[in-house]
């Protein structure tokens, strides 16, 4: 009887972990889609910096016309810039913590790639 209780306890302890991993597997392609969407704007940002000497303060709405906006991207709130730097970011619900993804670039070459962090 004790052995059955131990196995049942182990099973109950593993359920939250299994749910967490299932959520990550479900949301992972959506995260990739959002990152790819942002990365497709890199050449336009660099061209603007070459032309104007700084990154645009906001994404040109014409850059988004005709594009399918991924679920995790809020077209009004996924980019910011100081002129010398820019950042893409989006929130996702696939994790209990580290529920944001961000990408920072500049000044100079982009470094570091995408980072996940907790927005709460």
Is 1 a domain residue? no
- Domain interval for residue 101: 13-117
What DSSP state is assigned to residue 41?
T
Is 4 a domain residue? no
In total, how many domains does the chain have? 1
59-104, pLDDT tens digit by residue?
999 999 999 999 999 999 999 999 999 999 999 876 656 689 999 9
Is 80 a domain residue? yes
Is 45 a domain residue? yes
- More confident position, 38 or 108: 38
Is 5 a domain residue? no
Is 8 a domain residue? no
CA atoms of 74 and 84, how far apart (whole Å): 23
* DSSP assignment of 45-94: HHHHHHHHSS--SS--GGGTTTPPPPTT--TTSSEEE-SS-EEEEEE-SS
- More confident position, 105 or 98: 105
Is 99 a domain residue? yes
Is 2 a domain residue? no
């Amino acid at each position: 009887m004790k052995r059955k209780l131990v196995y049942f306890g182990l099973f109950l302890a593993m359920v939250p972990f299994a749910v967490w991993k299932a959520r990550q597997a479900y949301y992972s392609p959506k995260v990739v889609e959002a990152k790819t969407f942002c990365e497709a704007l890199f050449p336009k940002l660099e061209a603007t910096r070459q032309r104007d000497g700084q990154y645009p303060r906001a994404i040109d709405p014409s850059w988004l016309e005709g594009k399918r906006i991924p679920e995790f991207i809020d077209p009004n709130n996924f980019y910011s810039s100081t002129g010398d730097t820019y950042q893409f970011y989006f929130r996702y619900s696939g994790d209990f913590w580290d529920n944001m993804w961000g990408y920072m670039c500049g000044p100079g070459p982009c470094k570091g790639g995408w980072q996940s962090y907790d927005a709460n």
